[in-house]
Structure 1
Amino acid sequence: MTALSSAAARAAHLTADGTPKVFTDTVAERLLGGLADEMIGYHRAQGEHIILAGTRAVTTVRARYAEERLAAHGQYVILGAGLDTYGYRGDPDTNVFEVDHPATQEWKKGLLAKAGIAIPDRIVLVPVDFETEEPVRKLAGTGFDTTKSALVSWLGVSFYLTRDAIAKTLGEIGRLAPGTELVMDYALPDGLRDAEGDAYAHIAAQVVGENAEPYRSHFAPEEIDALLKDHGFEVAENVSLEHAVPPETWRRTDALRPFDYFRLVRAAVPG
């Protein structure tokens, strides 16, 4: 459900929100197939609701923030890829490694087939269970070049994992080639969110809990910075949604607003 909701939010942004556009995903609606009209329709009809508007803000900002870092790398590792669509609309010279649970990948392959979208040769699906397996090691033998830097995005995933699982995966990423960049998001705990973030968190916790996908971890910014440094990263920035995109992004008259519940952090493997 969270993968569907994220894809619907990215797709709905193109018609439910005004300008400036935060991010343009031209493939997400096709992936939703028969659910597209209903799911995007919620956003068009009730787009000011904090969960709907908030999810559009989160999903578009984090996708833009990550993909803007791709220019410096020829390979892109997407941890917890879900219904990410970069590989089907992005730079054809970038090799993409979609790392996700095997069941999720089979489901996505079915959606792609129904939409008539072929999986390009440059996209490799890497099946992994983040709680029990080592995702970076699973890249071995897939064509991933361990001697070259990569962009690794880990978006919409960390809050569903235990702290131990997060630390283990960071340890793996930290052993990749120098210059490798990680972009990940995380959720703030009680006391560090603004009013809108608290409201979003309260409703979202109920929704994801009812769908058997409960949030398992929250971090203060200094905790994430320390965790990354402990695993060999140099932290470049740790920002709110408001500051992850240019200021003019928020000069708008629609319901899209930044709120402080999810943060984005960018870090690199030193070299």
Structure 2
Amino acid sequence: MTRSRYTENRLAEMGVEQYVILGAGLDSFAYRTPLTVQVFEVDKPATQRWKQQLLADAGITTPNTVSFVPLDFENEQPLTSHLVQAGFDPGRPALVSWLGVTMYLTEEAISQTLHAISGLAPGTELIVEHLLPAALRDEAGQAYAELVMAAAAAHGEPWLTFLSAEQMAALLRDHLLEPIEHVRQKDIPAEWKRGDALRPTELSILTRARVKE
């Protein structure tokens, strides 16, 4: 997916040795990367147990560069203490990836996590995906949202929070994080040299921010 490619490209550019994946789910980065980086996969305990069982069933060994950090964003804070317990060094910069998660959270939970990230070492960056409000989506994005939103709600995971680029930037500044850029899927044309009909939609944005000095 373009969001993962953009984020992993930025990780390679930064050259940091710590990579935090919030809401890691079935993310496969740590099992295929040539980079020397410690990966902290943060997610609900049940999701992590499911992933570890799938890895075991597939005969995939979890590399020693992976640390699982169990956390429920709505009910457990602070994030930093959980990371430190898993071996994270808060005095060294990191890249924090937060993709495909914020739409399921309340704004309060998002704010708590941003507050924790703002306390990490200078040089740390955050790449966060957020869904656009309905008025800012294009026709294809709105059609997709209507289908997926209903399915997500039926499975007990309703979409709760929608933020424009300006709203996310304001939220970041409220927590002393400096917005750097907003990236739409359509802004990454190199990733869309495809021969089929799949095309990006105006549904979500990636916002990149950094911890202020």
Calculate the aligned-residue CA RMSD, in Å: 1.1
Tell me, which stretches of 5 or more residues in structure 1 are unaligned?
A: 1-59
In structure 1, the residue matched to 2:98 is 154
The 10-residue stretch of structure 1 (101-110 or 139-148) with the greater mean CA deviation from structure 2: 139-148
Match of 1:189 among 133, 140, 150: 133
Match of 1:168 among 88, 112, 118: 112
In structure 1, the residue matched to 2:71 is 128
| Equivalent position amino acid for 2:5 in 1 | R
SS at match of 1:242: helix
In structure 2, the residue matched to 1:50 is none
In structure 2, the residue matched to 1:252 is 194
**Aligned pairs for 1:71-220 within 5 A:** 71=12, 72=14, 73-134=16-77, 135-220=79-164
CA distance in 1, matches of 2:72, 2:141: 29
CA distance in 1, matches of 2:35, 2:166: 37
| Equivalent position amino acid for 1:63 in 2 | S
**Offset of residue 93 of structure 1:** 1.5
In structure 2, the residue matched to 1:270 is 212
The structure whose residues are more often strand, as a share, is 2
Does residue 64 of the first structure (1) align with residue 5 of the second (2)? Answer: yes
**Offset of residue 82 of structure 1:** 0.2
Q: What is the aligned residue count?
A: 210
SS at match of 1:201: helix
CA distance in 1, matches of 2:39, 2:107: 27
TM-score by length of 1: 0.75
**Offset of residue 92 of structure 1:** 4.9
Relative distance call for 1:117 and 1:229 in structure 2 (3 A) is: same
**Offset of residue 88 of structure 1:** 0.6
CA distance in 1, matches of 2:64, 2:199: 38
In structure 2, the residue matched to 1:17 is none
CA distance in 1, matches of 2:58, 2:106: 34
**Offset of residue 248 of structure 1:** 3.7
Tell me, which stretches of 5 or more residues in structure 2 are unaligned?
A: none
**Offset of residue 78 of structure 1:** 0.4
What is the percent sequence identity of the aligned residues? 49
**Offset of residue 252 of structure 1:** 3.4
CA distance in 1, matches of 2:7, 2:35: 17
| Equivalent position amino acid for 2:59 in 1 | G
| Contact in 1 for aligned 2:2/2:191 (Cα 8 Å) | no
| Equivalent position amino acid for 1:258 in 2 | P
CA distance in 2, matches of 1:196, 1:187: 14
In structure 2, the residue matched to 1:48 is none
**Offset of residue 226 of structure 1:** 0.3
